[in-house]
């Protein structure tokens, strides 16, 4: 029927964590998740981690101006606090250090897509790009799943399947991992 069930695992009722997890899983749905194992699946996981942070920070800002109710207006601070806590728990990368970090962890990532600390470090770096230009979330449904592809080949296929207005963004995205 085209329905997707999303299961969350947050223990008690930690709403910030529920929102974080829901955003992550919803990003998988938007990426047209498939049970296909491929060497660049870690990149999808990284995007989903980025989406989690994006949603927490976006809701925190939006609910400060236009919350659906007073309880959520007051709760918005907890969303921002949770996002900050998650981000601070990860290694800090820059555009200069990230390609070296990728090369250091490339084999691990290609074997195991869910290396949360590594995915998270990259998510922190991607977040400002998506916050500045959220239109580029439209690339998510075009995420390629190519077995045996190099990361450069993965990005080339992604550019080929997206409209030209996303190509510069994908080039900047790719440059975070591969120096050209």
Predicted confidence (pLDDT) per residue in 12-33, tens digit: 658 899 999 999 999 999 998 7
Mean pLDDT taken over the chain: 92
Sign of CA dihedral 88, 85, 135, 160: positive
Query: Is the model more confident about 57 or about 35?
Result: 57
CA distance 81 to 76: 9
> Residue 69: which residues within 8 A CB-CB, separation 6 or more?
none
Nearest CA to 45 out of 157, 152, 126, 130 is that of: 126
How many CB atoms sit inside 10 A of residue 102's CB? 19
Asked if pLDDT for residue 168 goes beyond 90, the answer is yes
**For residue 33, what pLDDT is reported?**
75
How many CB atoms sit inside 10 A of residue 29's CB? 13
Asked if pLDDT for residue 73 goes beyond 60, the answer is yes
Over residues 114-139, mean pLDDT = 97
Residue 70 near residue 96 (C-beta atoms within 8 A): no
Q: What is the largest CA-CA distance in the chain?
A: 51
Q: What share of the chain in percent tops pLDDT 70? A: 95
**For residue 155, what pLDDT is reported?**
97
Over residues 101-125, mean pLDDT = 96
């Amino acid at each position: 029927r085209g329905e997707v069930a999303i299961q969350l695992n947050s223990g008690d009722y930690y709403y910030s964590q529920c929102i974080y997890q829901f955003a992550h899983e919803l990003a998988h749905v938007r990426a047209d998740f498939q049970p296909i194992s491929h060497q660049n699946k870690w990149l999808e996981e990284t995007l989903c981690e980025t989406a989690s942070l994006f949603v927490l920070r976006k809701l925190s800002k939006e609910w400060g101006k236009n919350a659906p109710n007073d309880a959520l207006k007051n709760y918005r601070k907890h969303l921002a606090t949770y996002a900050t806590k998650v981000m601070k728990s990860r290694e800090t990368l820059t555009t200069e250090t990230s390609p070296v970090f990728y090369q250091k962890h490339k084999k691990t990532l290609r074997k195991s897509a869910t290396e949360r600390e590594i995915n998270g470090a990259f998510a922190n770096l991607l977040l400002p790009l998506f916050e500045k230009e959220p239109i580029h979330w439209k690339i998510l449904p075009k995420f390629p799943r190519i077995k045996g592809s190099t990361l450069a080949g993965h990005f080339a296929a992604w550019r080929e399947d997206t409209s030209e207005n996303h190509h510069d963004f994908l080039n900047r995205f790719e440059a975070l991992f591969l120096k050209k």
